[in-house]
Amino acid sequence: MNQLKLHQKLQTFLLEDIGEKDMTSQTIFSPNHQGEGLFLAKESGVVAGLAIIKETYHLLDSKINIQYQVRDGDVVKKGDVLAKVNGPVSSILTGERVILNLIQRMSGIATLTKKSISALSDSSIQICDTRKTTPGLRMFEKYAVTVGGGKNHRFGLYDAVMIKDNHIAFCGSITQAVKRVKQQLGHMVKIEVETETKEDVLEAVNAGVDVIMFDNCTPQQVREFSTYVPGHIVTEASGGITLETLPTYAHTGVNVISLGYLTHSVSALDISLVVNM
C-alpha cells in the first residue's frame, strides 16, 4: 500500500472516530498509565493489513511499541496472537476500533480470496477482484485480495479502458467504440471489451482489443467463446459467478475470473484486542 495514501486515509478515519478527543479513555487513564494488549484471532483465516496496527498507533502516540507475531498472508487459527502492543493505555484504546475495523475486513477478504482459489482448483486461471469495493476502502480491499493470492483488476476508471455494454449501446458498436479510444489514447493503455455473444467476441477480436470479457456467461459459453480468441488476447469471465458455482468454470480455457463478491459480500474475520495482564 502507498505509504502517503495510507497515512492520509488513517488520519481521516481517526479524525472521524475521535473528533476532539476520546472522552472515555482520556478521562479514565492518565497519560502515564501503561499497559499491554494483544490482537487476538477469534477464528481461523488468512490475516491481512497488519501494518495498519503500527501505522495507526504511530500517528496517535509514538510511545506505543508493537511486536508482530505473524505476517500478512499467514493462516491463523482461533486463539493465535497477531501482535502485542504496549504503551499508554489511553492511546492503545483510542486506536483500537479503527485498527480492528480495517484488519478484520481485510483479513476476511484475504480469507475469502484464498478459499476461492482453492475452490476453483485450476492454476491456469487467475482470480482477481473488481471495482465493487467499499467507497474509501479500495486501496485496503484490493491489497487484501493480493494477500489472499489473488490479483487486482483496474484500480479505477483512470488506469485502463473497459468498454462495457452501456458504452457500446450509446456508441453503436464495439468496433466504433474501440476505434474512438485508439484515436485518442496511446499504445500504453490496455483496452478491454465486455462481450455477451459469439458475435460480440468476434467483433472484439477484429477490433484489436487487449482483453475480452465474457460477461454473465455460463461455463459452456466461456469454453466455447475462448476458442474464438487468439492467444495474444487475454480472456476474462465475470458476472454472476459465486463461490458455489466457481468450480464449474475450471478448465474452460479462460485466463482470468473476476469476482465482485471478494470485496462487496465478505464477512469480516473475527479479531479482538484483549488486555494482557
CB 41 within 8 A of CB 78: yes
Residue among 113, 110, 7, 24 at smallest CA distance from 60: 7
Q: Strand, helix or coil at 181?
A: helix
Instruction: Check pLDDT > 80 for residue 277.
Output: no
Q: Band of the pLDDT at 151, cuts 50, 70, 90?
A: very high
**Which CATH number goes with the domain that contains 221?**
3.20.20.70
In this structure, what C-alpha cell is assigned to residue 104? 478484520
Per-residue model confidence (pLDDT) at position 71: 98
**Whether residue 129 is found in the same domain as residue 252:** yes
pLDDT at 64 over 80: yes
**How far apart (Å, rounded) are the C-alpha atoms in residues 262 and 242?**
10
Clarify whether residues 209 and 248 are in a common domain: yes
CA distance 82 to 104: 12
Residues in the chain: 277
Residues 197, 133, single domain; the answer is yes
The mean pLDDT value of the chain amounts to: 97
Closest by CA to 113, choosing from 8, 265, 273, 271, is 265
Asked whether residue 267 carries a pLDDT value surpassing 90, the answer given is yes
Banded pLDDT at 259 (limits 50, 70, 90): very high
User: Which residues form the catalytic set?
Assistant: 97, 132, 164, 194, 215
Residue type, 228: Y
Where does the pLDDT of residue 198 fall: very low under 50, low under 70, confident under 90, or very high at 90 and above?
Answer: very high
- Indicate if 104 and 150 belong to the same structural domain: no
Q: Are 13 and 105 in the same domain?
A: yes
Co-location of 62 and 181 in the same domain: no
Range of the domain at 103: 3-111+267-275
Residues 6+ apart with CB under 8 A from 154: 131, 160, 162
Check the CA dihedral 12-14-17-21 and report its sign. negative
pLDDT tens readout for residues 172-197: 999 999 999 999 999 999 999 999 99
pLDDT surpassing 90 at residue 1: no
Shared domain for 193 and 246, answered yes or no, is yes
pLDDT at 263: 97
**pLDDT for residue 105:** 98
**CATH assignment of the domain containing 86:** 3.90.1170.20
Same domain, 69 and 98: yes
Instruction: Look at the chain and report how many structural domains it folds into.
Output: 2
Mean pLDDT of 23-29: 96
Looking at the structure, tell me whether residues 7 and 26 fall in a common domain: yes
Q: Do 242 and 150 share a structural domain?
A: yes
Do both 103 and 140 map to the same domain? Answer: no
Confidence of residue 228 (pLDDT cuts 50, 70, 90): very high
The strand ranges marked E within the chain are 34-41, 45-46, 65-68, 75-76, 81-88, 126-128, 161-163, 191-195, 211-215, 234-238, 256-258, 271-275
Instruction: Note the pLDDT tens digit of each residue in 88-145.
Output: 999 999 999 999 999 999 999 999 999 999 999 999 999 999 999 999 999 999 999 9
Percent of the chain with pLDDT over 70: 100
CA 22 from centroid of its chain's CA atoms: 30
**Are residues 220 and 92 part of one domain?**
no
